[in-house]
């Protein structure tokens, strides 16, 4: 008799895979989230997030490490903090380095970065995406991203109205 073995289906990725080029450390009041290629995150997008300041279990320490940092605060247009925003740090060529979740006061910080040119991209449900202008960080510099103000997302709806001639009798074909 043959014994059947069931394989578990692959987990659904809730965040994009990242190519990590810098060291990852936890930051105060922000959750660091990383996923190496070939691995997956087991959390769901609407699942409760770990307490601020806790490190993700998928945290890895890549070979390249620096001493610069990039931080900021995610706000809405009224100036209110936006907690739980997905904040990504990318190279100027679009290569994503790290992603974290903003803390309870909208704050985030990427630490131990090598000098280079970066962009910050912010996404959160209900708001339009935000992309910073390119900025350069030198060794040991602490750079604060200015003016992260998210506007409410808009939805475009297109309605097409076509006139019909109701004066004619309907034609039935059989």
pLDDT (0 to 100) of residue 3: 52
Q: What is the pTM of this model?
A: 0.55
At 82, give phi and psi (nearest 5°). -115, 95
Q: Which residue has better confidence, 109 or 6?
A: 109
Tokens of 167: 């004066």
Is residue 53 scored above 50 in pLDDT? no
Q: Quick one: pLDDT at residue 167?
A: 67
**pLDDT (0 to 100) of residue 166:** 67
Residue 154 has what pLDDT? Answer: 84
Long-range Cβ pairs for the range 94-97 (8 Å, 24+): 95/19, 95/21, 96/16, 96/18, 96/19, 97/18, 97/19, 97/20, 97/21, 97/22
User: Per-residue pLDDT averaged across 143-158, rounded?
Assistant: 86
The string of pLDDT tens digits covering residues 65-123 is 789 999 999 999 999 999 999 999 999 888 999 999 999 999 999 999 999 999 999 99
- Give residue limits of the domains in the chain: 31-37+53-150
More confident residue, 13 or 164: 164
Query: Mean pLDDT of all residues in the chain?
Result: 72
* Topology given in CATH for the domain delimited by 31-37+53-150: Immunoglobulin-like (2.60.40)
Does 31 score more than 50 pLDDT?
no
Q: What is the mean pLDDT of residues 160-166?
A: 71
Q: How far apart are CA 149 and CA 163, in angstroms?
A: 44
Q: Is the pLDDT of residue 23 over 50?
A: no
Mean pLDDT of 39-56: 43
Q: Mean pLDDT across the stretch 26-55? A: 43
């Amino acid at each position: 008799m043959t014994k059947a073995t069931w394989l578990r289906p692959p987990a659904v990725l809730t965040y994009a895979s990242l190519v990590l080029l810098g060291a990852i450390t936890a930051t105060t009041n922000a959750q660091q989230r990383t996923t190496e290629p070939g691995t997956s995150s087991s959390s769901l997008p609407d699942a409760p997030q770990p307490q601020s300041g806790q490190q993700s279990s998928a945290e890895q320490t890549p070979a390249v490490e620096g001493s610069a940092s990039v931080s900021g605060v995610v706000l809405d247009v009224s100036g209110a903090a936006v907690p739980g925003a997905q904040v990504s740090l990318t190279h100027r060529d679009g290569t994503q380095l790290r992603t974290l979740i903003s803390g309870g006061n909208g704050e985030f910080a990427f630490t131990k970065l090598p000098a280079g040119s970066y962009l910050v991209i912010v996404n959160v449900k209900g708001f339009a995406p935000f992309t910073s202008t390119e900025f350069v960080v030198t060794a040991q510099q602490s750079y604060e991203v200015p003016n992260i103000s998210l506007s409410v997302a808009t939805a475009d709806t297109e309605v097409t109205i076509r006139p019909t001639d109701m004066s004619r009798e309907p034609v039935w074909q059989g």
